[in-house]
Structure 1
Amino acid sequence: MSLVVRHNPVIQNKMFALQNEPEMLLQYVSGLSNKDRRTVGYLLAKVFLPSLEEAQFWKVFLIFVSYDSKAYLGTFIKAIKTLYHSKSLSFDCWELKSFATDKATVIDRQKFLTEVLVLLRDPSEVKSLLDIFGVCSVDTRLVYLYRAGTSVCYYCLFNLLKIHDGDLSLLGKYCSLLLKKEDRLSKRVASLVNDYFGLNKDLPVGLKRLEPYKLGRLDGSYNSFKYIIDQI
């Protein structure tokens, strides 16, 4: 297995010199040897991309990932994780919309959503990202939210189930799926779904049933949802 050379001052300096010219940066990188391109992959994810301003980042993203998503999408997602946790990173930009609408393959969409949804901290970000990638089907939307398994995605899942509260088959399906997960949060959300929609499922020992007055709070904000979840 080839070792990745993580530091190359010549390549790194050239990359930063071209940070405002993403097309030329891609041309430069594409002309390097396989060994040097592996170095570029490391530098992109760990050094170059996390240092960019948001507008610069998305311009470079669109150029590189549109050119070869198989080679670069994973690298850019690594940088997105760093940028999102360290500073504000908005996904509401035309470059991402252009990629999602015109360039991304089915696999690209699945990869991006699977790895980025779990990062998000606000319900509006979750909804916006699913909209950007054209996830309109209720079933598909629920699958992504269920698989993400974070409290904010479960809040969005719960709100989507409320819209379809007459579909007992759908409600029962997701209550059962949540119960099958091993983590405590999923089981608490299953208990919440069970009590809110009156499904009468057999719940694991140790899960508290919600008092009727608390069920009304679930029609409130995400913070109210988190508070109720902690009571189960």
Structure 2
Amino acid sequence: MTSWNIHVQDDCVQQLIKKDATLALLIKKVGNLQINIRPNPLKSLIRSIIGQQITVKVAASIFEQLTDAINDEWTVDKLSKIEDTQMKSFGLSKSKINYIHNLVTHIQHGKLDLENLHKLSNDEVIRTLTEVKGIGQWTAEVFLLFTLQRPDVVPVHDVGLQRSAQWLYGTTKAQRKAQLALCSERWKHCASIGAFYLWEAIHQDYLAYASIHDIND
């Protein structure tokens, strides 16, 4: 599995530590990060579509079944041959089955060139991807992060990131989205790294503590 290795001594991490004293506390607790990325663009988008508005566990089960059905051969040809009834048996909703069809059709008709998205700006990638029904802002931003490895992306609409920001910065639920947007502006071209640390706080179950100060080293 391909990884994005983030070390505390990296320039971006050091810049974040200097810019944001609160985030610096989290970075100190977490240390280095190893982020599993998704280099295959088609596989990445399908995975995100499957994961929309369902639990990680359920999404993983559906994704695994689909992967097995196509023998882990992520091509539009393979995907187009999977019957709707089979996809439904995996646990996919009718709307998500249609979203997958929409994506496949866009690629087959030349409306979406996944292999050249890396040449586009963040805004251009988001605009291009969201033209496909079933791909929204969040899915496009996750693609920028985990597939294109863009350094300056914070999916502000991600509820998990909002919860983590609320916990770390001590804001209210009503303020947490605005807090995350403020962080994105503050972190600028290293914003993705900040987002990864906020996600890691969730993975480490830090949010079970009242605050960052209650976690023992």
TM-score category (smaller protein) = under 0.3
**Bigger Rg, structure 1 or 2:** 1
TM-score, normalising length from structure 1? 0.27
More relative contact order, 1 or 2 (CA 8 Å, 6+ apart): 2
Structure 1 or 2: larger helix share? 1
TM-score, normalising length from structure 2? 0.28
